[in-house]
Homo-oligomer: A and B are copies of this chain.
């Protein structure tokens, strides 16, 4: 089967690899109907995250179940499914508390690679959610978004405790930040301030529910957020980048007692304990437990209440994955969908 392999920074190829097989009785094999490229895939693409050898890529997916292991109970061959980017057993105390992405038996789907025609899904019952009915094309794109970017943006908004009466600031105008805006709106936030200096992203941000745009960054960005919030700072801030600057910007833009939900994969970030101590903010984040939110997100999508699939602004045939990486790297695309 065809799969995306990254050979090194900027070097993405489609190659032929063996079709995966059931390894454990809790596995399923799915035929991937669409995959996509994640902002986090750009870290190795840009050489910031080092890879020692050619690596399979991708962790977002929707597809049709082709085969299930002997212990799989809830998922059947032929089901159309969405799964999280982290496979989880669904039964440990961590999963039951809603932190499936930190399941004690977690398997990152990135280590398997879903930018491929087929994928093995560990812990199929704990990981996959069946979609009933026949999704439209728009719904299908939205379901793919649910697999990571929507689920991650949603978690960020929940971790930031976005809700009625709250002012939410969003640091990062990539797909996750944009869908964090959508999530904050759905959770009832009163005011949503998107930090973005790109006209196209600003337009998407407004379409997802942003009420204000702040173009300044760093200290100037923080000052502008304070200015917009009576000097207090935001109640809730979503950090969807993962750099030192973005994390500091998020913490400093948040009022004491407020909440920072951080989901940008942390790259070289260190948090000064004393600054955190005196900030009085709540910090919570990490790899999003997308599986917690999937049933609700699927319902919102299948009833046309939300349309996160519009975050995909470039759709390419799977064989043109390399162009998809280039487009995202050069910021010509926010989020690339790869279809078979």
A137 to chain B, nearest CB (A): 35
Interface size class of A (residues with CB under 8 A): 35 or more
Interface: A262 (CB within 8 A)? yes
Q: Tell me which residues from 1 to 40 in chain A have a Cβ below 8 Å from any Cβ of chain B.
A: none
| Chain B residue at smallest Cβ distance from A231 | B104
Q: In the complex, A277 Cα to B260 Cα: how many Å?
A: 12
| Chain B residue at smallest Cβ distance from A235 | B97
Tell which of B101, B102, B256 touches A99, judged by Cβ atoms closer than 8 Å: B256
Q: Which of A247, A267, A283 has the most CB of B within 10 A?
A: A283
| Chain B residue at smallest Cβ distance from A98 | B257
Flag if B271 contacts A276 (CB, 8 Å): yes
Q: In the complex, A276 Cα to B232 Cα: how many Å?
A: 26
User: Which B residues are in CB contact (< 8 Å) with A257?
Assistant: 94, 97-99, 102, 289
Interface: A133 (CB within 8 A)? no
A126 to chain B, nearest CB (A): 15
Main secondary structure, interface of A, reads mixed
Flag if A280 contacts B99 (CB, 8 Å): yes
| Chain B residue at smallest Cβ distance from A244 | B273
Q: In the complex, A255 Cα to B287 Cα: how many Å?
A: 14
Binary contact track A92-111/B, C-beta < 8 Å → 1, others 0: 01100111011010000000
Query: Quick one: given A232-B94, A257-B94, are A284 and B287 in contact (CB under 8 Å)?
Result: no
Q: Tell me which residues from 269 to 326 in chain A have a Cβ below 8 Å from any Cβ of chain B.
A: 269-274, 276-287, 289
Q: Tell me the number of copies of this protein.
A: 2
Binary contact track A152-187/B, C-beta < 8 Å → 1, others 0: 000000000000000000000000000000000000
Q: Which of A104, A247, A257, A282 has the most CB of B within 10 A?
A: A257
Flag if B269 contacts A270 (CB, 8 Å): no
Tell which of B104, B247, B265, B280 touches A286, judged by Cβ atoms closer than 8 Å: B280
Q: In the complex, A271 Cα to B130 Cα: how many Å?
A: 39
Interface: A266 (CB within 8 A)? yes
A73 to chain B, nearest CB (A): 24
Flag if B232 contacts A93 (CB, 8 Å): yes
Tell which of B247, B255, B270, B272 touches A94, judged by Cβ atoms closer than 8 Å: B255
Top 5 closest pairs, chain A to chain B, by CB: A269-B273, A102-B256, A99-B257, A266-B273, A266-B277
| Chain A residues at the B interface, C-beta cutoff of 8 Å | 93-94, 97-99, 101-102, 104, 230-232, 242, 244, 247, 255-257, 262, 265-274, 276-287, 289
19 contacts between A and B (CB under 8 A): A97-B257, A99-B256, A99-B257, A102-B256, A102-B278, A102-B280, A104-B231, A247-B273, A257-B289, A266-B273, A269-B272, A269-B277, A270-B270, A276-B285, A277-B286, A279-B286, A282-B283, A283-B283, A283-B284
